[in-house]
Amino acid sequence: MTTVLPEATAVKPPVQRSEPMLVAMRDSAADRPAVEWAAARAAALDAPLTVLHAITDPSLMPPGRLYGDEVIAGRVMVSREASRVAHRYPGLRVSTYLHCGDVVEALLGLSAAAPMIVVGADRRDPTSGEYKGSVALQVALNSATPVAVVPPAYGYRANSGQAGGGVVVGVDGSEVSRAALMRAAEEAHSAGMGLTVVTALGSSPQRMAVGAAPMLLAVRTRYPDLVVSWVVDDLHTPVEALALYGAGSDLLVIGRHGSGARSAMSLGSVTHTLLLEPPCPTLVLTHRGPEPPDGSPTRTAERMNVR
């Protein structure tokens, strides 16, 4: 296992943005880590936050239950959660959205306008061990915007950029992973964190389509003050390596499908496995437009006044 450490430089403080974020709350207790992570991020970026909750379609209601009661209960739950995070983060602009129908449909319908969707990881049945639904997987597969999946046991650390594990990104040499690298660098730079880039060779090393040196140069050109560590792991599979380095980190960034994906319309096996049990908040990068080939700033970076 080899770790390449470029020279350390000072990390810039977080940069504020104004785009809204969207977080799904299916259950007030189980999804609280996701809401908390989204609220903390929105507060740090001075961005508004929308808390979304979906209730069962009227046609699927069991006999004897009043749909009006379901609507009232859902509205009360989402309003209480919004009030809680607004009180916890003074100045945070929080709104609520109550959807009658499937939560996946609601999230995907709003994904074209939202800069990010935040959902809790899909939960296991404590008795059978089977997953109860696949909301996170379906949203990550079909969303038009990046999706952050937050594990149920995650506890947000205040000022995590100073004491946490920073941002981790998996790179396999594909163009998708190159885009993930640039997004991870932006995330680390904006939050004032360091960046760890992980390339896992596993049992069957493959030649990287895009070399490490050009990718590192692109990061250095766009973010000259960012502290970057590049890890080449020849002992673990990609899933094992990313789970290892992602544990305790503030954010893991991965592509929706990497070099081993059979189809661009499906989640890669690494992404699929990591989203079932994410080691930390995991951002799945979707593809809205082409990445600049020369490492020049994107529109987002220009808006953030990145040097």
pLDDT confidence of residue 213: 75
> Which SS3 state, helix, strand or coil, does residue 97 take?
strand
Would you say domain 21-150 falls under CATH 3.40.50.1100?
no
- Check if 2-14+160-303 and 21-150 are the same fold: yes
As given in the structure block, the two tokens for residue 62 are 């069991």
> Residue ranges of the domains in the chain?
2-14+160-303, 21-150
Mean pLDDT of 16-35: 79
CA 23/CA 21 separation, integer angstroms: 7
Write out pLDDT tens, residues 48-84.
999 999 988 777 777 777 778 888 988 999 999 999 9
Write out pLDDT tens, residues 94-119.
999 999 889 999 999 998 889 899 99
Mean pLDDT of 221-247: 91
The highest-level CATH class for domain 2-14+160-303 is: alpha beta
DSSP structural state of residue 260: T
Q: How far is CA 229 from the centre of its chain?
A: 20
pLDDT confidence of residue 164: 54
Residue 181: band (very low, low, confident or very high) from pLDDT cuts 50, 70, 90:
very high
> Are 11 and 160 in contact, with CB atoms under 8 Å apart?
no
With a cut of 90, say whether residue 87 has pLDDT above it.
Answer: yes
